[in-house]
Amino acid sequence: MIGLFGSGAMAQPGPVSLSAVTVRATAPERFGAGQKLQRIDSAALGQFRFQNLSELLMLQTPLAFKNYGGGQIATVSFRGTSPNHTAVLWNGINVNQPMTGQTDFSTLPVLGFDQISVQYGSAGSAVGSDAIGGSLLLRTLPDFAGVGLRPTAGVQIGSFDNMQVQAGAQYTGQTTEQGQGAGKTVVYSNTFNNRYPYRERGFYYIEPTTAYQQGLMQDLFWRNRRGGQWSLNTWLTDYAVTVAPADTLGRERTRTQGYRTQLSYEADRWTLRVGWLRDVLDYAKRDFSRPSHSLTDRLLTRLEREFMHTTANGNAWQVRLGGEVVHYRTRVDGYGGQLITENRADLYALLRYQTQRLTVSANLRQGFVTRFDPPLTPSLGADVRLVQRERVGLTARASVGRSYRVPTLNERYWQTLGNPDLRPERGLNAELGLTARFQPSPAWQLTSDLTAYRNRIDDWTYWNPDRGYRVENLQQVLARGVEWSGTVAYGQGRWRAGGRVGYALTRSSQLLAYNAYARDIVGKQLPYVPVHNTSLMAYGSYRDVRLTVQSVVQSRRFSTFDNSQSLPGIVLTDLVLSAPLKLGPVRARLQGQVNNLFDALVLNVKQNAMPGRSFALGLVVGN
Amino acid sequence: MNTTMTRFSQLSFKSAFFTTFALSLFITSCDAPDPEPEPYESGVVVLNAGNFFDNNGTLSFIQNRSTTVSTDIFQATNSRRLAGSMQGYNEIDGKGVILVDNSTAGQDKAEIVEIGTFKSLGTLAAPDIENPRQVVRVSANKAYITCWGATGDFSNFYPNPGYIAVVDMASRQVVKKIPVSKGAENMVVSGSEVLVGSVGGEKALTVIDLNTDTVKSKVELGNNPDPIGLDATGQLWVYSAKEMIQMNAQTKAVGSRLKINTTADRNVGNITFGRDRQNIFFGLFSYAADGTVKGETYSFTIRDASISLATPFIRRHFSGMAVDPTDGTIYAGVTPSYKQAGYVVRYQPNDRSVKDSIRVEIAPSGFFFK
């Protein structure tokens, strides 16, 4: 029942389930020894099922979000980096929007994923481009155990005339001579009318917006008798957000559509994966019938082979060799509207060695991009289990790794401003960590995780205002910080209680003076990166009735490179009460939520007020 | 909206914004002397445009003519931000009017403040005020604010006619809207008339009768006529399409048209009178292929028969420029980027030497001397 746990634990064998029939290819984070991994626990996934990932991660991790509010874009700053320095992997595939190289976290639902993990620090060698500050790992998993059909439906009604509807089913077939099938379907539809009863808060306008979000997730799995497994994963999204909808001249609409599907087959330690990703972005002002249009298709093929060897004394070697080819096809009005194609390829070798006390990983990746090759990217990391007793555990970890980012399509192809001669950004990340667990009595469990890191990024791209915002490799950024989190859990009879405290100190600054006025910038904290970020979560439950309080406290965020202006600090507190409900034979759960409990004034990056205290009532039936 | 698009449209938007800051009316109060000096009684108000989509325009205050700067003075007094781009400032019979242009439609406003403290006295909001451009005093307790109205997209940026919001400063209310040309911009008060320029592609200057608040006539002059002001001899100067037009302020008869003989890629900006209104400064700037802005500042006197571009007055282009009427010091704004504070560079009027450079806030683009 621990809210979240630090990663040392994750590096140990255990959480990766090996099916009885075959050895499944393991997740890339398995090759991230020495690095911190935080898995969001299932209680939180249930509790946040009507919310988006920026809302969950802001309350449960030190990730900072640059938020426009009201269903508009929310981008991440992970360990003091830019939004395009976080890799977002959906079942192993990077789904960052290729035009901007980033993900709008307000479009990532919490619902529908079976596992959400946050991998801290560079993972360029294991993941590829973008994994400079960290990675977000979203995964759907088959459930072969629970044979049958399990439908579920949910609805949440919130303040401001907002409503969310979800429906889905999980299904698992009987094992037959041929094999066994399983799957899951989830559809969701969110309507944010955002009818605020006030026009402004504390003299700051609330920006009028409406947002509609629809999505479908379809996962099908088939495992055959020969030990192979087919997976077909599909995730379709269609989101639209309109700013100033009532203003027929000034209204602006951004519509994003995502089509993501992948088919993989795993057998005999081979994994073959093919995928198709399409990102569509339409932006229009006033007349929505003639938007500025962007479309990018990606066709992906990946082949991996795993080698395993266990020595006589129980030490295990694991090597994964892989190769990937992605074909890009993009047509963007801002690039001139013509078809641009390019090919990207990656070759990688991931090694893991595990003994009783030690886990080491050593990885190497080389990316190839048309007219543009990223650097060779190695990494090395180790977990050392210093103390391993039943009630006490202490694990130290250390890692060092390179990372890189292939410039986005916008950065290279945008008319006039893009720069086809950009170099890849290169990062060098080193970190040290210590994870402890302690169980003073059977009723109590405590964990603590401390990490310090230093991440230097060279050739950081910058839309240079000196040159009319042409993009250049101008900056060099040093991000360093300390993260601590502690959890406590108590259980006695039908009572449960616990909590989590997280604190992050982040210093991220520009090192190079590239012109006369850049000396006002050197050494200053990067915009929108809070120096101090604290999150708190406490819960108590009796039987299945659970009360949770969660809070985030962030220091001010500078809005300029010279730190001459800032957005005020944030204190946001949410309260959630959930209780089981019996509807005849059907299991149900009722969840009431108070957001921004203390009605705090929070400004978004456009200096608009975010909404005050609001309420939501949700009902989930089944599952 | 994606990042690049934001930056790109911001750029186009900004480049449309190279506006001049016409010298403002200089009001002296004749009330009983205040025993306690107020913080912003005497000095220079610097208008910092801010970064358009960050809505973070501010007013800085240079105490007296020193190098002491107070930043974001509205926030310092009122504990809240203006929340928009800084578009204009003027003082009307003891009250200040701040024009604020928010990046979101329907969120523009004019803040009315006490002039010594910048304490807010009231707010004029949309739909009364939409895309405000300039505010002038037209008579006792009456101000005109030019507004574009709601703007459209880039295929048709000015779908509406512009208007003048007539503000009764006593009740702090917009009492009338006078429709004028689309893209209504700068105003010059001349006797009982207000001459209104525009940037929306129309060719006529609009003449308003300030007693009746009605359009009296239109004077065809050339594309986007921009009234500069009345010179030392009472002649009206208007800029239009690379011409400085001198005309009779009463009869509107054109006296002379001085051509600025330059290439098509060079833009004119920062037009302002020099000390005593005997000369006019203007900037010429262009975008180089690599995106850098190159430009210089020129000057000609109101008696010149032609404009010479042989020797620039200052070999530099600025994001804003004005002349201190008390001593002729030239105040020039420098904007290194829209994501960091800019500088005010002060030039001696006689030898054009740099007196000093003062760090202010983002995109210093206008000045108000008091």
| A481: pLDDT strictly greater than 90 | yes
Tokens 């709008």 correspond to: A104
Residues of A in contact with B8 (CB under 8 A): 334, 414, 417, 469
What is the maximum alpha-carbon separation in chain B? 58
| A531: pLDDT strictly greater than 60 | yes
Instruction: Give, in words, the CATH class of A2-622.
Output: mainly beta
B175 within some domain? yes
| B325: pLDDT strictly greater than 70 | yes
Task: Dihedral sign for Cα B271, B275, B276, B278, please.
Answer: negative
B167 within some domain? yes
Nearest 10 degrees: Cα torsion B212, B213, B216, B218? 170
Q: Does A469 contact B11 at a Cβ distance shorter than 8 Å?
A: yes
Write the pLDDT tens digit of every residue in A2-45: 333 333 333 333 333 334 334 454 567 789 999 999 999 888 88
Residues of B in contact with A608 (CB under 8 A): 55, 83, 104, 107
Residues of chain B numbered 49-68 and touching chain A (CB < 8 Å): 51, 53-56, 58
Closest chain B residue to A99, measured at CA: B2
Q: What angle do CA B212, B215, B218 make, to 5 degrees?
A: 145
Write the pLDDT tens digit of every residue in A374-384: 899 999 999 99
Closest chain A residue to B154, measured at CA: A285
- Average pLDDT (B207-221) is 97
What range defines the domain where residue B132 resides?
84-220
pLDDT score, position B289: 85
Three-class secondary structure of residue B108 per DSSP = coil
**What are the residues facing B284 on neighbouring strands?**
B268, B296
Q: Does A292 contact B5 at a Cβ distance shorter than 8 Å?
A: yes
Round to whole Å and give the CA distance between B152 and B160. Answer: 8
- Average pLDDT (A515-541) is 93
pLDDT score, position A70: 81
Write the pLDDT tens digit of every residue in B89-109: 999 999 999 999 999 888 999
pLDDT score, position A142: 92
Round to whole Å and give the CA distance between A193 and A70. Answer: 9
- Average pLDDT (B312-329) is 95
Q: Does B3 contact A468 at a Cβ distance shorter than 8 Å?
A: no
Among A77, A293, A463, the residue to mutate for chain B (most B Cβ within 10 A):
A463
* CATH of residue B208: 2.130.10.10
| A548: pLDDT strictly greater than 90 | yes
Three-class secondary structure of residue A53 per DSSP = helix
Tokens 């100033």 correspond to: A244
Q: Does A102 contact B83 at a Cβ distance shorter than 8 Å?
A: no
CB-CB contact of A107 with A252 (8 Å): no
Q: Does A561 contact B337 at a Cβ distance shorter than 8 Å?
A: yes
* DSSP type of residue A125: H
Write the pLDDT tens digit of every residue in A396-431: 999 999 999 999 999 999 998 999 899 999 999 999
pLDDT score, position A8: 35
pLDDT score, position A564: 95
Three-class secondary structure of residue A59 per DSSP = helix
Three-class secondary structure of residue A235 per DSSP = strand
Closest chain A residue to B287, measured at CA: A468
Q: Which of A410, A467, A520 sits opposite B2 (nearest CB)?
A: A410
B53 within some domain? no
A62 prior amide bond cis, ω within 30 = no
Chain centroid to CA A244: 29
Residues of B in contact with A249 (CB under 8 A): 105, 150-152, 159-160
| B217: pLDDT strictly greater than 80 | yes
> How many A×B Cβ pairs under 8 Å?
155
- The pLDDT confidence band at residue B361, using thresholds 50, 70 and 90, is very high
| B346: pLDDT strictly greater than 90 | yes
Q: Does B56 contact A559 at a Cβ distance shorter than 8 Å?
A: yes
Write the pLDDT tens digit of every residue in B64-76: 989 999 999 999 9
Q: Does B290 contact A411 at a Cβ distance shorter than 8 Å?
A: no
**What are the residues facing A487 on neighbouring strands?**
A447, A500
Q: Does B362 contact A254 at a Cβ distance shorter than 8 Å?
A: no
What residues contact residue B29 under an 8 Å CB cut-off, 6+ apart? Answer: B94
CB-CB contact of B316 with B302 (8 Å): no
| A212: pLDDT strictly greater than 70 | yes
Residues of chain B numbered 311-370 and touching chain A (CB < 8 Å): 336-341, 359, 361-362
Neighbours of A402 (CB within 10 A): 21
CB-CB contact of B90 with B136 (8 Å): yes
pLDDT score, position A134: 95
Flag the least confident range among A276-285, B2-11, B134-143, B312-321. B2-11
B22 within some domain? no
> Nearest CA of chain B to the CA of A409: how many Å?
10
Q: Which of B123, B150, B339 sits opposite A560 (nearest CB)?
A: B339
pLDDT score, position A216: 97
Q: Does B361 contact A561 at a Cβ distance shorter than 8 Å?
A: no
| B17: pLDDT strictly greater than 80 | no
Residues of chain B numbered 123-142 and touching chain A (CB < 8 Å): 123
Nearest 10 degrees: Cα torsion A576, A582, A585, A589? -10
Among A562, A607, A608, the residue to mutate for chain B (most B Cβ within 10 A):
A607
Write the pLDDT tens digit of every residue in B23-65: 333 333 445 555 678 999 999 999 999 999 899 999 999 999 8
Q: Does A606 contact B153 at a Cβ distance shorter than 8 Å?
A: no
Tokens 């874009």 correspond to: A73
Count up the domains in chain B and report the number: 1
SS3 of A294-363: EEEEEEEEEEEEEEEEECCCCCEEEEEEEEEEEEEEEEEHHHCCCCEEEEEEEEEEEEEEECCCEEEEEE
pLDDT score, position A3: 34
Write the pLDDT tens digit of every residue in B116-129: 999 999 999 989 99
Residues of A in contact with B363 (CB under 8 A): none
Residue A188 half-sphere exposure, CB side, CA atoms within 13 Å?
Answer: 28
pLDDT score, position B34: 53
Q: Does A244 contact B53 at a Cβ distance shorter than 8 Å?
A: no
Q: Does A244 contact B104 at a Cβ distance shorter than 8 Å?
A: yes
Q: Quote the percentage of chain A above a pLDDT of 90.
A: 81
Q: Where are the domains of chain A?
A: 2-622
Q: Which residue, B37, B107, B43, is CA-closest to B73? A: B43
CB-CB contact of A556 with A526 (8 Å): no
Residues of chain B numbered 65-104 and touching chain A (CB < 8 Å): 71-72, 78, 80-81, 83-84, 102-104
What residues contact residue A399 under an 8 Å CB cut-off, 6+ apart? Answer: A32, A33, A34, A35, A121, A379, A380, A381, A382, A429, A430, A431
B190 within some domain? yes
B163 within some domain? yes
More confident residue, A268 or B178: B178
Round to whole Å and give the CA distance between A610 and A65. Answer: 14
Q: Does A564 contact B71 at a Cβ distance shorter than 8 Å?
A: yes
pLDDT score, position B62: 97
pLDDT score, position A623: 64
Q: Does A287 contact B80 at a Cβ distance shorter than 8 Å?
A: no
Round to whole Å and give the CA distance between A419 and A421. Answer: 5
Among A251, A286, A567, the residue to mutate for chain B (most B Cβ within 10 A):
A286
Q: Does B337 contact A607 at a Cβ distance shorter than 8 Å?
A: no
Q: Does B2 contact A468 at a Cβ distance shorter than 8 Å?
A: no
* Cα-only R_g, chain A: 24
Chain centroid to CA B268: 15
Residues of A in contact with B11 (CB under 8 A): 417, 468-469
Q: Does B105 contact A244 at a Cβ distance shorter than 8 Å?
A: yes
Closest chain B residue to A104, measured at CA: B2
pLDDT score, position A22: 41
